[in-house]
Structure 1
Amino acid sequence: MKDKPEIEQISPCTSESENSKKQQVDDNIYHEKPDWSASAIKKYFATRIPTLLDFPINHETKRWYEIVNPIPGLREMTPYNWNQYLLGLSLWLIDSFDFFCVSVNAPHIAATLNVSVYDITWGMTLVLMLRSVGAIIFGSMADKYGRKFPYILLCVLFTVIEVCSGIVTTFRQFLGVRAIFGQPTAARATISGTFVPIYGIGYSMAMIFARAFEGTYKEGESWRSLFWFSAGLSVILLVWRFFSPESKEWIRIREKKRKLKELTPGMKDNAWKKFTNASIFKTLRTDYLLLCQLTVLYAMFNFTTHGTQDLFVTMLTVQYNMSIDLITIIISLQGIAAMIGGVICGPCSELVGRRFMILICSIFNGAFLYPSFFNVNQWWPFSVVLAGGVLGCWGISSVYLLEMTNKANRALIGGLAYQLGNLASSASATIEARLAEQFPIEGRPGVYDYGKTMCIFSGAVFGAMIICIILSPERFHANEALEDDDDDDLLLEEGNQSQNSFNEKLEEGNQIQISSNEKHI
């Protein structure tokens, strides 16, 4: 009898193949559970510095300028890719625009509602605190039902809330509306570098339109017009998203989950599972430690922006008595600097890695804190450089988050980590406003040294950020094969032909196994 021949392809119908196939699909969309053994923990901490200094460019055959060149990657983007990217970018921009509508108008809103600036910062704090609720609700919906429907629902809610923000007449109404706003909440490195820093453009837009709408309503209440204008922008996005297709990436992930369910004995839908996303529980079992790490990291990220931006206009207006025209110029330049910072830092992270680039940005930002918040009348250009560094650092965060999260529940885990970080940093403006009251300016009753407070607060944050990123993990270029690891014909037709295709593959595997057994006999 001849030796049993080696079978290169095992039939998908054998028990071994079922487990192998299930494990393959499982590993492709989920992470492994963390290893809590003493040796694993020791190895992890021992490799933080070596991995930080193990630059990706040392493993590349391309020259550095070929790696950072964004043109080849941007040429690969299809009209569909651009449409999806711009949809996400636009909603992110409007979200930023609305948030900073409060920030740049804090003194005027406070005067209208007869409260202090400190009280108004609570409206900003409530937005950030309750965004975690929105992350859970809409993140789960996006992973379960697709990206399109939650996006449209967000636009509807956004429009209603913006209109209501413009008609509030009491401080309590203002807090209630802002709290509701907090609840509703895409080439890799280059796109990441421009995505998050667009938040700085939203800041600039808020300042520019605040200046443009000045005098359009009652004296000191032009901020109401700003909110109503923002409501109209969200209507445009609602129509745009309605006529755009569902995310192909989500369709692929849905089909992977379906295959995994078919290959898991006894895994059937019941009434509860039809309306919930059961994969969330599997993700939480494997990624709970990652979620904690990302939450801490994004708390630091959020502290850096809110600590340096939220009370900046208040500082310029109240402490330095700058004209609204000069303030508009400064904030506009900061928005441009933010985009430049993102465009530079995103691609550069391809050379030295995500963690090392974030580390460099944090050190850079710390060096510019003092000139950005002291003697601002003369040194305000330094604040423009600081804005470029802060948002440039943020420009790396999107691609880092994409590489760290699993494919099964990326919207939920990514959004929840970001918004829990927002929750942790939500009181930034309130803390700074309260601390500033400990530094009154002599001879100017009711005026406080906001610059000193912001400098001290932000310095502590950047120090903590440096420690956090050194201790963080990194999965450079992970999840890269997302769009290529399945048969496109199987996954891109909304799942209509997926069952037939999968059955044909099973039958093909059966024939191969039978043929091999006959030859052996």
Structure 2
Amino acid sequence: MPSAYQKALDGPKFKSSVIKHYAITRFTNLIPRKEHLVFDSYFWNPFKPLTQLNARQWNLFFAGFWCWTWDAFDYFSVSLNVSALAEQFDVKTADVTWGITLVLMLRSVGAAFFGILSDRYGRRIPLAASMICLTILQIGLGFVNTYQQFLGVRAMFGIFMGGIFGPAYAIALENAPDTAHGILSGIFQEGYAFGYLLVVCFQRAITDNSSHSWRALFWFSAGPSVLFAIWVLLVGESDSYLRHVQLMNTSSNENASKRFINQGKMAFKRYWVVCIYLVLLMTGFNFSSHGSQDLYPTLLTKQLGYGVDRSTVTNSVANLGAIAGGLLFGHLSNYIGRRMAIIICCIGGGAMIYPWAFVRNSGINAGVFFLQFFVQGAWGVAPIVLAELSPPEFRSFVGGLAYQLGNLVSSASSTIEATIGERFPIYDADGQKKEGVYNYSKVMAIFMGCVFGYLLLITFVGPENIHADLSYKDEENDNEKNDDSNSLDVKGDDTEYLETV
């Protein structure tokens, strides 16, 4: 595996020669370098790099992983019960999907607040606080009786859900060895698909067999949240973050608050272009997941008339495909590059839109498996891309906020699909319009085609900082020791473009 590292990125200066050079290297840098595309045992066995993690690193990783997984469980608990909630509150399906949209819109608030706390005071306290607040809201949601109460509680959900990703991905990835970053990124991100898979199973086991229906699912979900909060508190602080604090205390005479503010000003000056790019990138990622997942259970039950058992099987198959894709492409990205891995997934996902949306026999399971295989294959690269491109001192804030701002932009995915879907009613054999049944397949297929095209384009034009060292360094000393740092650029020219101009 490659052992070279890059420094953190700087913002570019906009000179015509530099822009021209950067444009050319968007093509050339997609080609993996021979010294890194090594077909060794690490390449063929994606789990071998995991043997390099010690017990402490595994503990930190799984603390973040399970918090992220349960974030997904809470989120998709509503997605799987859209029809039941609409019936309960006597509103339309599109009205209930507004509750999903509201969560996505407010996540950026939580990401900003808890991200700053995480970078200033450490990962574990903000992460544990978010999980405990979610526990209270999970219990409360089981007691709501009106649509307005539902929206109010879901709005609060959005704020505290937004505080999960930044601290969780930071504590999970920043302490691990470089050789395992790709596969760990895939495993971590597919905690979301795993959470979806868990809620599909518990939906069948609890919701469909309880007199309290969907309420019982939320009451159940409160229990594990408490356990994961305790785990985070007991695991201790991120070793990488502690090294950063120690370094700052020995290299500066400023008080901690003033130093943190000055670091923020410097980071914004250096990273503002990269930060904007990350928001645009995460917008594409979030459109791909929400556009293909949120309304799909409604498509199965309402449009195709699937019963609970068949719908459970199809949703489970989709998430098995998601987990497989995230692990595979997360691992491959360590060799073929982050951008190349995402682009391959966009092309593969586009090819699977038709069977995913329009196959009506048993082949639908293959369609959903491979569509989610490519959607989440691209997503498996996202956490490590965020970690490598974010300012080291503000990894939790920038990575978490970029992720959730992308969520904000894509927040109306399910509402858009549900609303447009109502323009395409389905008729029975006698030519009568079926009540509440719409052609979601057509709308979702067109929507996903546009999303894959956008994600491919924004990935192609963006930078890459593959194999960047995620541990905190004394940059002054590093610069003195690594005057020829551009020779360490794994992909060729991105660091040169972003640092030396």
Per the normalisation by structure 2, the TM-score is 0.85
Tell me the equivalent position of 1:238. Answer: 229
Trace 1:121-140 onto structure 2 (pairs within 5 A): 121-140=97-116
Tell me the equivalent position of 1:35. Answer: 13
Q: Tell me if structure 2 keeps the 8 A contact 1:130–1:179.
A: yes
Q: Tell me if structure 1 keeps the 8 A contact 2:101–2:415.
A: yes
State the 1:68 CA deviation: 4.6
Q: Are 1:74 and 2:50 counterparts?
A: yes
Q: Secondary structure at the match of 1:167?
A: coil
Trace 1:342-491 onto structure 2 (pairs within 5 A): 342-381=326-365, 382-442=367-427, 443=432, 444-479=434-469, 482=471
1: CA distance, partners of 2:322 / 2:123: 28
Q: Tell me if structure 1 keeps the 8 A contact 2:11–2:274.
A: no
Tell me the equivalent position of 1:173. Answer: 149
State the 1:338 CA deviation: 1.4
Q: Tell me if structure 2 keeps the 8 A contact 1:29–1:408.
A: no
Amino acid at match of 2:387: L
Amino acid at match of 1:197: E
Amino acid at match of 2:247: K
Tell me the equivalent position of 1:90. Answer: 66
2: CA distance, partners of 1:283 / 1:29: 14
**Higher-Rg member (1/2):** 1
1:353-372 CA distance string (max 9 Å, x none): 11011000000000001111
State the 1:314 CA deviation: 0.3
2: CA distance, partners of 1:312 / 1:61: 38
- Please, which moves more after superposition, 425-434 or 397-406? 397-406
2: CA distance, partners of 1:68 / 1:148: 35
Amino acid at match of 1:100: F
2: CA distance, partners of 1:278 / 1:144: 12
Q: Tell me if structure 2 keeps the 8 A contact 1:93–1:202.
A: yes
Structure 1, unpaired ranges of 5+ = 1-27, 263-267, 487-521
State the 1:477 CA deviation: 0.6
State the 1:61 CA deviation: 7.8
Q: Tell me if structure 2 keeps the 8 A contact 1:68–1:348.
A: no
1: CA distance, partners of 2:11 / 2:144: 49
Q: Tell me if structure 2 keeps the 8 A contact 1:29–1:407.
A: no
Task: Sort the Cα spacing of 1:438 and 1:65 in 2 relative to 1 into closer, same or farther, 3 A.
Answer: farther
State the 1:350 CA deviation: 2.1
Q: Are 1:280 and 2:251 counterparts?
A: no
2: CA distance, partners of 1:133 / 1:61: 41
Amino acid at match of 2:27: I
1: CA distance, partners of 2:17 / 2:283: 29
1: CA distance, partners of 2:27 / 2:245: 38
Figure out how many residues of one structure are paired with residues of the other and give that number: 447
Q: Are 1:195 and 2:188 counterparts?
A: yes
Trace 1:154-303 onto structure 2 (pairs within 5 A): 154-184=130-160, 185=163, 186=172, 187-218=180-211, 221-262=212-253, 268-269=254-255, 273=258, 277-303=261-287
Structure 2, unpaired ranges of 5+ = 1-5, 164-171, 173-179, 475-501
Q: Secondary structure at the match of 1:234?
A: helix
Task: Sort the Cα spacing of 1:61 and 1:273 in 2 relative to 1 into closer, same or farther, 3 A.
Answer: closer
- RMSD between aligned alpha carbons? 2.0
1: CA distance, partners of 2:148 / 2:417: 22
Trace 1:496-515 onto structure 2 (pairs within 5 A): none
State the 1:42 CA deviation: 2.0
1:30-85 CA distance string (max 9 Å, x none): 643321222222221121111112x04x1238435433533442121111111111
1:159-196 CA distance string (max 9 Å, x none): 11111111111111111111111112221111111111
Per the normalisation by structure 1, the TM-score is 0.82
Trace 1:110-121 onto structure 2 (pairs within 5 A): 110-121=86-97
State the 1:254 CA deviation: 1.8
Match of 2:26 among 37, 40, 48: 48
1:189-216 CA distance string (max 9 Å, x none): 1111111122112112112111111355
Amino acid at match of 1:40: V
Trace 1:140-151 onto structure 2 (pairs within 5 A): 140-151=116-127
Task: Sort the Cα spacing of 1:222 and 1:61 in 2 relative to 1 into closer, same or farther, 3 A.
Answer: closer
